[in-house]
Chain A
Amino acid sequence: MSRSTLLRVLSLSVLLGALFGLVVWYGTLQPAPGLGAYPDNSEFVADTEPYVGEQVTLTGTVVATDPLTVAVSDGQHTRELVVTGVSVTVESGETLRAFGTLTDRSTLRAESGFGVPPSGHYYAWTISFLAGLWVLARLVRHSRIDRGTLALAIREDDDA
């Protein structure tokens, strides 16, 4: 392995390690309402009690509309909460995104909230996937792998 390749592998390892470190560090962050970082599902779903009386951001699937009830999850635990004070109409199956105060362990008094229909997510995923394919196709056409160094090279006019 040449010196420059070794240096490249080394710096890539350091950079990827730094990215991993950032993702772990971000995971240790506590909510900071003063900075606009309100507690969300990942905090209050597992243990709601400490957050009663606090402002939180909630994301949940609407399971009933009278009263408005959502299933909230943090990826491991799932529970149901009643949400009051949402002025817009939301339907079962939609994703509710709301901000408000937990008045007790199973009720959120919302100050604002809106529903996102499932079709919205399907639309975003499909169109994003297509965009990925488009840019990937452009990258394949506009660059090549340099055989000697395994580096990506943007094609220049004199490239075949």
Chain B
Amino acid sequence: MPDLLAHALMAYSLCTLLALRYEWLTARYVTVGMAGAFVPDLTKIALVVPAAQVRSLLGIPFDWGGLHTGGAAAVAVLVGTMVVRPGQRRRVTALLGVGALSHLLADALLLTPSGRSYAVLWPLTQYRPPTPGLYLSTSPVPTVLTAVLAAAVWYAVRYRPRQASAA
């Protein structure tokens, strides 16, 4: 999707809904899912350290765009896995994965001039699927929509009718 706020709000909604199903998924783990939504945008390091600079410095091919792919996101999620303590790794991996995946899917719908998105499944394939072009990365509209969704989810979960027993 567009900006990181929209991605974080999307992950918040998804993880909060998953929390209805999984009791261990507390607000603390929802935060992990939101952090996962940032993973594919590691590619934005390019704004600080342009790839051309790295190329001329190291003298090797280099393109930060490689981070905004399914394969690199999976590896980056595993980095997150190994950062946390044993015993929480499976949960953290799952939630970082949910966040990263929602980001990648939302970005596959971005408007591009060629009508093709990005190499979603790289390094399996360089294929760029067609994109419906629903929004621009600089538009506030998706952010507003995801904020409304997140607020609705928060409200629904917070004030949902309590079940009398675990039956």
Which residues does chain A contribute within 8 Å of B113, judged by CB atoms?
A: 57-58, 97-99, 110, 112-114
Which B positions have Cβ atoms within 8 angstroms of A? 2-5, 7-8, 27-29, 31-32, 34-35, 38, 41, 44, 50-53, 55-56, 60-67, 69, 71-72, 75-76, 78-79, 82-86, 88, 91-92, 111-117, 119, 122-123, 125-130, 136-140, 143
Q: How far is the CA of A153 from the CA of B136 in the complex (A)?
A: 37
In chain A, what residue has the closest Cβ to B143? A127
**When the two chains form their complex, are residues B75 and A19 in contact, meaning their CB atoms are under 8 A apart?**
yes
| A15-B79, A27-B60 known; A35 vs B28 contact (CB < 8 Å) | no
User: For chain A, which range describes its interface: under 10, 10 to 19, 20 to 34, or 35 or more residues?
Assistant: 35 or more
Question: In the complex, how many angstroms separate the beta carbon of A51 from the nearest chain B beta carbon?
Answer: 14
In chain A, what residue has the closest Cβ to B116? A36
In chain B, what residue has the closest Cβ to A140? B31
**When the two chains form their complex, are residues A146 and B52 in contact, meaning their CB atoms are under 8 A apart?**
no
**When the two chains form their complex, are residues A26 and B8 in contact, meaning their CB atoms are under 8 A apart?**
no
In chain B, what residue has the closest Cβ to A74? B52
Task: Return the CB mask of A136-151 against B: 1 if under 8 Å, else 0.
Answer: 0011001100100101
Question: In the complex, how many angstroms separate the beta carbon of A137 from the nearest chain B beta carbon?
Answer: 9
Q: How far is the CA of A134 from the CA of B139 in the complex (A)?
A: 20
Out of A58, A128, A153, name the residue touching B84 (CB < 8 Å). A153
Q: How far is the CA of A114 from the CA of B66 in the complex (A)?
A: 25
**When the two chains form their complex, are residues B85 and A151 in contact, meaning their CB atoms are under 8 A apart?**
yes
Which residues does chain B contribute within 8 Å of A113, judged by CB atoms?
A: 113
Question: In the complex, how many angstroms separate the beta carbon of A10 from the nearest chain B beta carbon?
Answer: 9
Which residues does chain B contribute within 8 Å of A146, judged by CB atoms?
A: 85
Out of A36, A98, A99, name the residue touching B127 (CB < 8 Å). A36
**Assuming A15-B75, A135-B38, what are 11 further A-B pairs, CB within 8 angstroms?**
A15-B78, A15-B79, A19-B75, A22-B69, A23-B67, A25-B61, A27-B62, A37-B128, A75-B51, A142-B31, A154-B91
| A120-B136, A123-B138, A131-B8 known; A19 vs B63 contact (CB < 8 Å) | no
Q: How far is the CA of A32 from the CA of B125 in the complex (A)?
A: 11
Any B CB within 8 A of the CB of A53: no
Q: Taking each of A38, A74, A116, A152, which has the highest tally of chain B beta carbons within 10 Å of its own beta carbon?
A: A152
In chain A, what residue has the closest Cβ to B113? A99
**When the two chains form their complex, are residues A130 and B67 in contact, meaning their CB atoms are under 8 A apart?**
no
Q: Taking each of A38, A58, A98, A124, which has the highest tally of chain B beta carbons within 10 Å of its own beta carbon?
A: A124
8 contacts between A and B (CB under 8 A): A15-B79, A25-B66, A37-B127, A112-B113, A128-B4, A138-B34, A151-B84, A154-B32
Which residues does chain B contribute within 8 Å of A120, judged by CB atoms?
A: 136, 138-139
**When the two chains form their complex, are residues A38 and B114 in contact, meaning their CB atoms are under 8 A apart?**
yes
Question: In the complex, how many angstroms separate the beta carbon of A5 from the nearest chain B beta carbon?
Answer: 11
Which residues does chain A contribute within 8 Å of B31, judged by CB atoms?
A: 135, 138-139, 142-143
Which residues does chain B contribute within 8 Å of A36, judged by CB atoms?
A: 114, 116-117, 127-130
| A4-B86, A15-B79 known; A116 vs B136 contact (CB < 8 Å) | yes
